[in-house]
Structure 1
């Protein structure tokens, strides 16, 4: 299945683009997505923590993904 990825902040820099599509097996979860991203982009593993939103709602690692889902990769934010 094809998933639309939107990346923000340092995640965008690591993934090389702010938007792209990624092919995942059917029955994939958010956790499977993270593994796939780490396989394709080894620097992705360096993100100590990040949030994932599926179709504008924050998602846990065990959430199943559906074809045509839009997934946002949101790295930790700091500032003052």
Structure 2
């Protein structure tokens, strides 16, 4: 299975770095953001959708969480 290299702080755009530091400051995992940062247009589009989805504006929050957990389980990632 191919892997996406996680970008270190020095390679992140300033606005992405600010978001990453905010998540890490709250004890969160920034690896998804660091992986998507390889392609800024993908990063922007995903987080524009994801932010509204997590607020229940596009898809119910409960469904997003269930999908997230299922994907993690299928990838042997226990979050």
TM range (shorter): under 0.3
The TM-score, its normalising length taken from structure 1, stands at 0.27
Q: Report the structure, 1 or 2, having the larger strand content.
A: 1
Q: Report the structure, 1 or 2, having the larger helix content.
A: 2
Highest RCO, 1 vs 2 (Cα 8 Å, sep ≥ 6): 1
- Larger CA Rg, structure 1 vs 2: 2
